Structure 1
Amino acid sequence: MDWKLELVIVPVSDVDRAKKFYTEQLGFAEDVDHRVGDSFRVVQLTPPGSACSISIGIGLTAAAPGSYQGTHLVVNDIEAAHAELVGRGVEVSEPFHFGPQGKQPGVSPGRGDFETFLSFEDPDGNGWTVQEVGRTSS
C-alpha cells in the first residue's frame, strides 16, 4: 500500500498576506481559494514540481500562526534556488552545509546529497528549509 503525503496545513494569521507571499514570492500555484461565510476559508497552494500541497486559511487548524518549523522543500541546485528566492524578494539565509564537522557556512564544492540547505520564514514566522538533493553536475 502506498501512503502519499498530499497536503500540509500551515497556520497563518492573515490569509491574503500569506497567499500573496506563497504565490508571488515563492511561485506556488494557487489550486483552490474557497470560502464558506466568515468562519471557513481554504486556500490550497502547490510548489512548482511538487506532488504535495499546502493549505492556509480560516477554520483549518488550532495551531498558532508561525508555529510550524522545518518544513522541507527539495531542489537539485541550492545556488539557483537561493538566487531565485532573493530575486523574488524573499529574506533567505545563505546556503549552509552539514558535514562531519556539523553546520558550516557556505557550500562545499565536494558536497554530497542531503548536506546543503538554506532557510526562510513566511510572514508569520513559519520556518521553511530548502535542501539540495540530486545535484546535477555542470
Structure 2
Amino acid sequence: MDWKLELVIVPVSDVDRAKKFYTDQLGFAEDVDHRAGDSFRVVQLTPPGSACSITIGTGVTSAKPGSYQGTHLVVKDIEAARAELVGRGVEVSEPFHFGAQGKQDGLHPERSDYGTFLSFDDPDGNNWTVQEVGHTS
C-alpha cells in the first residue's frame, strides 16, 4: 500500500500576507482559495515540482502561527535555490553543512547530498529548511 503525503497545514496569523509571501516570494502555485464565511478560509499552495502542497487559512488548525520549524523543501542545486530566493526578496541563510555525525562543523565544509542546507522563515516565523539532494549524483 502506498502512503502519500499530500498536504501540510501551516499555521499563519494573516492569510493574505502569508499567501503573498508563498506565491510571490517563494513561487508556490495557488491551487485553491476558498471561503465559507468569515471563520473559514482554506488556501492551498504547491511548491514548484512538488507532489505535496501546503494549506494556510482561517479555521483550519489550532496550531499557533510560527510554531512549525524545519519543514523541508528539497532541491538539486542549493546555490541556485538560494540565488532565486534572494532575488525574490526572501531573507535566507547562507548554505550550511552537516558532517557524518549530523553536526554542523568546519570539518565538512563541502556541499554534499543530504548534508547541505539553508533556511528561511515565513512572515509568522514558521521555519523552512532547504536541503540539497541529487547535486552530486
Query: TM-score per shorter chain, which class?
Result: over 0.9
The residue correspondences of 1:73-88 to structure 2 (distance < 5 A) are: 73-88=73-88
Q: Indicate the residue corresponding to 2:89 in structure 1.
A: 89
Distance in 1 separating the partners of 2:7 and 2:57: 13
Provide, for residues 57-105 of structure 1, a one-character-per-residue CA deviation record: whole Å limited to 9, x for no partner.
0000000000000000000000000000000000000000001472147
Q: Indicate the residue corresponding to 1:128 in structure 2.
A: 128
Q: Which amino acid aligns with 1:16?
A: D
Q: Indicate the residue corresponding to 1:44 in structure 2.
A: 44
The residue correspondences of 1:1-138 to structure 2 (distance < 5 A) are: 1-100=1-100, 102-104=103-105, 108-109=109-110, 111-135=111-135
Looking at secondary structure, tell me which structure has more strand per residue: 1
Q: Please, what is the CA RMSD of the aligned residues?
A: 1.5
Q: Which amino acid aligns with 1:25?
A: Q
Unpaired runs of 5+ residues, structure 1, are none
Q: TM-score, normalised by structure 1?
A: 0.93
Distance in 2 separating the partners of 1:56 and 1:18: 8
Q: Which amino acid aligns with 1:26?
A: L
Distance in 1 separating the partners of 2:21 and 2:75: 19
> Aligned pair count?
135
List structure 1 segments (4+ residues) > 2 angstroms apart after TM superposition: none
Q: Kindly indicate whether the alpha-carbon contact (under 8 Å) linking 2:33 and 2:43 is maintained by their aligned counterparts in 1.
A: yes
Query: 3-state DSSP class of the match of 1:34?
Result: strand
Distance in 1 separating the partners of 2:104 and 2:74: 18
Query: 3-state DSSP class of the match of 1:118?
Result: strand
Unpaired runs of 5+ residues, structure 2, are none
Distance in 1 separating the partners of 2:70 and 2:49: 20
Distance in 2 separating the partners of 1:39 and 1:112: 45
Q: Which amino acid aligns with 2:3?
A: W
Q: CA deviation at 1:113?
A: 1.1
